[in-house]
Amino acid sequence: MRNISQPEFGRQLKRLRDRAGLKQADLAGGPVSPSYISRLESGTRIPSRETVTHLAEVLQVSVEQLVEPDDAESEFPHDAALVAANIALADGDYAQVVDLLEGKSTEREPLCEWQALWLLSVAYRELRKPDRQAEFLRRLTELNGLDTTIDVQVRLFAELAGVERSLGNLAESLAAGRRAAALLQTSSTSHPELAVRSALALLASETEAGFAAEASERIPSLLAQAKNVPARLRAQALWAAAGVYVRCGLAERGMVLIEQALTELDSRDDLLAWARLRIAAASLSLRARPSVTPRLEVWLDEAESALRFVGHQAHEAELGAVRARVYLLTERYREALECAQAALESGTLAHHDRARTELVHASALIGLGEVTSGRDIFRRVAIESEAAGFLDLAAEAWKALATTNTDGRA
């Protein structure tokens, strides 16, 4: 019997099974189970000699017919690890994607290497490891000699802009966001969804860099494009636009958009996105009107209930960071401190969220009488944010420091 390779064997097995009019369960018995047949056909397992003999007998074909792929199939090279990785990604087994692909991409043809790097970036995004995600996205931007479409390149740079921003690399985020926008201008076809993703990436970076006024000029175009995209992305566009308006001092206009965003998503369609939108709405409401309203508390309670079913530690940290701000406003300093500490200790907050939570942590310390420690945090956050280019955040930290006296009074 010749050496068996996957996924060729899996395709041949499925072809012969379909030809015989059999189900996967019909092939079970002896050394194999129905689930094992599924793995064989998907190309993720290499069968033993005993298994091949059993399958050939059930299918009423020779062993040679089973292990030899059709000529039409054998003309095309395949990468079994990529096939298995795509299956693992679809199944949500992100660690398996990493196990299958990491450290092996140099052995592949350029197009297969591109796909492997992209799959690894997606896996690390879902594993909440933005530093590793960024590593593979950067390698994709450096991969030469591939005739990738404009659409693919725009998506790549928009994704990179977002992860660089979450890591605090604002200059790199701005560069990637602007590259995505420039590439989109060269496209000869209209892609509303791609245009919205590209605009969102640049909007967030510009706002954090202190260019909120410039970012606000992009909002009419963004919202016009968002009318033609899926509800989840449309809600994200409204949420982002609301944030820019609030930063520009247009609080009422921003709150109108966030209320509109809340109507776009049904919890039955995407419970996690529905919950995160409520966290975002509460956060923006606190920036627009620094007061705790019944509506804001409902949003947070709804988000908390939903996250019990679908949340990840990162989402719980986002919720905790907003809860800390609520406690701070109501002068419940001990609870504010504990919530802020828990969110920070999770290690999952994006750079900008982490820095703002540190400001809450500092204010809670001052409220509890630890004035010097709180002021030290204000100063550190201001210096670090300024150095990283987060000018809006730096201004917020310097203002907090300047308006807090050494005795803790504002």
Cα 33 to Cα 54: distance, rounded to the nearest angstrom: 12
Helices (H), 231-350: 231-247, 251-264, 271-288, 294-310, 313-329, 333-345
Token pair, residue 68, equals 């030899």
**CA distances (Å), origin 195, targets 171, 234, 236, 246:** 21, 12, 13, 23
Which of the four pLDDT bands, split at 50, 70 and 90, describes residue 71?
very low
For position 143, what pLDDT does the model report? 78
Cα 310 to Cα 253: distance, rounded to the nearest angstrom: 31
* Max intra-chain CA distance, the chain: 88
For position 367, what pLDDT does the model report? 95
Greater confidence (406 vs 261) lies with 261
Give the model confidence (pLDDT) of 307-342 as tens digits.
Answer: 998 878 889 999 999 999 999 999 999 999 999 999
Token pair, residue 92, equals 């949500």
> What is the average pLDDT value for the chain, to the nearest integer?
87
Whether 50 contacts 31, CB under 8 Å: yes
Q: Which residues pair with 29 in a beta bridge?
A: 32
Which of the four pLDDT bands, split at 50, 70 and 90, describes residue 31?
low
Cα 259 to Cα 29: distance, rounded to the nearest angstrom: 58
Cα 283 to Cα 368: distance, rounded to the nearest angstrom: 23
Q: Does pLDDT of 44 surpass 80?
A: no
Give the model confidence (pLDDT) of 299-312 as tens digits.
Answer: 999 999 999 988 78
Mean pLDDT (whole number) for 22-32: 76
Share of the chain above pLDDT 90, in %: 52
Cα 293 to Cα 291: distance, rounded to the nearest angstrom: 6
Q: How many degrees, rounded to 5, is the angle at CA 279 between CA 276 and CA 280?
A: 90
Cα 238 to Cα 277: distance, rounded to the nearest angstrom: 10
- Surface-to-core class of residue 332, CB atoms within 10 Å of its CB (0-12 exposed, 13-18 middle, 19+ buried): middle
For position 114, what pLDDT does the model report? 87
pTM above 0.85, yes or no: no
For position 72, what pLDDT does the model report? 42
Residue 29's contacts (CB-CB under 8 Å, 6 or more residues apart) are: 54, 58
Which of the four pLDDT bands, split at 50, 70 and 90, describes residue 105?
low
Element (H, E) at 131: helix 130-141
User: Please, how many CA atoms are within 13 Å of residue 365, restricted to the half-sphere of its CB?
Assistant: 19
Give the model confidence (pLDDT) of 184-203 as tens digits.
Answer: 888 766 688 888 999 999 99
For position 146, what pLDDT does the model report? 61
